[in-house]
Structure 1
């Protein structure tokens, strides 16, 4: 089996998470400057076998797309252009940021450490991936 990669796309930073080869465990991979995301993915996907890319789908409470969806559309086009053989699925990412904050609190991190936005983005991507695995 190959890995599944999850993307919590952001205007400035993008959190990434990945499964093990057996697709059992979701782990945070890293946070990348969004401007460098495609270059990072080219390098990563050249080294690792990934069979699916999950991209968070930001929605409002009434299920309409949030404002940030407009930023994600060009990224989705780039994924299709640069990695046409890897399917892309969208995953509802409502509440992942709040869940990530709570996860950091529960893990015992001090307030100063929890203010690390890069860590928050990585944890959010991990939650997106874990929710996908759980619902399979």
Structure 2
């Protein structure tokens, strides 16, 4: 079994999370400047056995695609060309940023720490991955 890597794509920075090799535990990996994302993923997949990419799918409350979906689709096209052997799966990511922020509050992080948008992105990617694991267990 390989790892599953989740991507919370953003136009400026992207949060990443990954499972263990047994695909049981989802952990935050890092946040990467989006301009460096493909290079990071290529390097990571060379050193780690990644079986699948899970990319967040932002939707409006009425289930239509959000404005950022256009950018995500372009990224997925580039990703599929750059790393064609690893399939891409989409997961609804509604509310993950709000849930990430609440997670930070619940874990006792100070206000200054909660303003770290990179940490929010990484936690959001972890929530996307946990959602995927829960729906496929």
Report the TM-score range of the alignment, normalised by the length of the smaller protein: over 0.9
- 1:80-108 per-residue CA deviation (whole Å, 9 max, x = no partner) reads 10111101000000000000000000000
Query: For the residues of structure 1 that align with 2:50 and 2:88, how far apart are their CA atoms?
Result: 11
Query: For the residues of structure 2 that align with 1:73 and 1:128, how far apart are their CA atoms?
Result: 17
**TM-score scaled by structure 2?**
0.98
Gaps of 5+ in 2: none
Query: For the residues of structure 2 that align with 1:73 and 1:132, how far apart are their CA atoms?
Result: 19
Gaps of 5+ in 1: none
Aligned to 2:74: 74
Report the 3-state secondary structure (helix = DSSP H, G, I; strand = E; otherwise coil) of the residue aligned with 2:16.
strand
Residues paired across the two proteins, number: 136
Aligned to 1:31: 31
- 1:27-48 per-residue CA deviation (whole Å, 9 max, x = no partner) reads 0000000000001001100100
Aligned to 1:6: 6
Report the 3-state secondary structure (helix = DSSP H, G, I; strand = E; otherwise coil) of the residue aligned with 2:66.
coil
Report the 3-state secondary structure (helix = DSSP H, G, I; strand = E; otherwise coil) of the residue aligned with 2:6.
strand
- 1:52-98 per-residue CA deviation (whole Å, 9 max, x = no partner) reads 00000000011100000011111000111011110100000000000
Query: For the residues of structure 2 that align with 1:124 and 1:105, how far apart are their CA atoms?
Result: 14
RMSD: 0.4
Aligned to 2:120: 120
Aligned to 1:49: 49
Q: Is 1:111 aligned to residue 102 of structure 2?
A: no
Report the 3-state secondary structure (helix = DSSP H, G, I; strand = E; otherwise coil) of the residue aligned with 1:18.
strand
Report the 3-state secondary structure (helix = DSSP H, G, I; strand = E; otherwise coil) of the residue aligned with 2:76.
helix
**TM-score scaled by structure 1?**
0.99
